[in-house]
Amino acid sequence: MTGMDKRYSDAVIRSRRNPLVRELLRMGRSGSFASSFPAEGLRLVETVLPLTRPRLMLLSETATQEPRWRDFLPRATVLADDVFAAISTTETSQGVLLVLDRAQEPEATAAGLRAAGLGAPEDQEAPCLLVLEDVQDPGNVGTLIRLAAALACTGVLVVGDSADPWSAKAVRASMGALWQLPVVRLRAEVCPLLEELGWTTVATVPEGGELLGGEMGFAKNEALAVLLGNEANGLKSKTLDAARRRITIPMPGGAESLNVALAGAILIWELRLRRGG
């Protein structure tokens, strides 16, 4: 028999009324479940598989005919193409989707954040932690997580009404970075906790802060927690009041603001790599 081995072709799920499919449809509509989330797409799945064991691996019937997935067939669940298309989280499915366990929210204490890997490191040059408050576009959240991993940040702390970092769109935008550094979701006031952990909290503001690129007086090994706010409204006033420093990206061209992911890239590059990190 060509294509999929008959052992697996006989087990193809062909009904959308199947209990597993109904659960997956609900997950697709919500973007994630309380304890699991989807990761879909060829490049993302190939990046993730060596890093973690999925709760569930789903293949479309057509995808099973590709040699790259042959070794995974014994532990994959195969869906008819039309059923897979119904549970897909992308507009154009590539026929492979993982269901993964999501990280649990730690205790809202300094000890809880330290246990999650977000303590200020003592032996790292120019350490940075990225803090996202009310960043609502999941694509921005995922892109910023990818940025933090690329520039060797200690981790990413997602707070307030930010998009779920384990939603399908955020996971795709992160391109596997969720498994390269600690990413923590926390619903609490974080500035006091970060200061207790040894981080200098740095709020980003569109104007009125210390100008990025000038003589800002950050020590080379000072641990900086860089706080980025909502795409439209920036950081909350209570967060600004609690932060130890404020910083502004100079824009001599006269633009009012930058996309939050672009602003994050400029800030982390300057505050981490320009200090020798």
Give the residues across from 79 on adjacent strands. Answer: 13, 60
- Phi and psi, residue 252, nearest 5°: -65, -20
- Residue 8's pLDDT is 46
Check which CATH number belongs to the domain holding 41 and give it: 3.30.1330.30
Residues 29 and 127 in one domain: no
Residues 52 and 171 in one domain: no
Q: How far is CA 29 from the centre of its chain?
A: 19
Dihedral sign for Cα atoms in the order 204, 209, 215, 221? negative
Asked whether residue 166 is assigned to any structural domain, the reply reads yes
- Residue 25's pLDDT is 85
Check which CATH number belongs to the domain holding 165 and give it: 3.40.1280.10
SS3 13: strand
Q: Whole-number mean pLDDT of the chain?
A: 88
Among 55, 73, 101, which residue terminates a domain?
101
Residues 244 and 133 in one domain: yes
Residues 65 and 140 in one domain: no
Distance between CA atoms of 77 and 220, rounded to whole angstroms? 51
Domain that holds residue 33: 6-101
Residues 181 and 204 in one domain: yes
Residues 175 and 228 in one domain: yes
Asked whether residue 267 is assigned to any structural domain, the reply reads yes
Reply yes or no on whether the pLDDT at 163 is more than 70.
yes
Pair 247, 234: CB distance under 8 Å? no
- Count CB neighbours of 123 within 10 A: 6
Q: What is the pLDDT of residues 134-150, one digit of tens each?
A: 999 999 999 999 999 99
Residues 258 and 124 in one domain: yes
Residues 141 and 97 in one domain: no
Asked whether residue 33 is assigned to any structural domain, the reply reads yes
Strands (E), 218-277: 224-228, 245-248
Q: What is the pLDDT of residues 114-133, one digit of tens each?
A: 999 999 998 888 899 999 99
Q: What is the pLDDT of residues 206-262, one digit of tens each?
A: 999 988 876 667 888 899 999 999 999 999 999 999 999 999 999 888 777 789 999
Residues 152 and 270 in one domain: yes
Among 79, 101, 123, which residue terminates a domain?
101
Residues 42 and 153 in one domain: no
Asked whether residue 1 is assigned to any structural domain, the reply reads no
Q: What is the pLDDT of residues 2-36, one digit of tens each?
A: 344 545 455 899 999 999 998 888 876 655 566 88
Among 101, 129, 163, which residue terminates a domain?
101
Reply yes or no on whether the pLDDT at 111 is more than 90.
yes
Q: Is the pTM of this model over 0.85?
A: yes
- Number of separate domains in the chain: 2
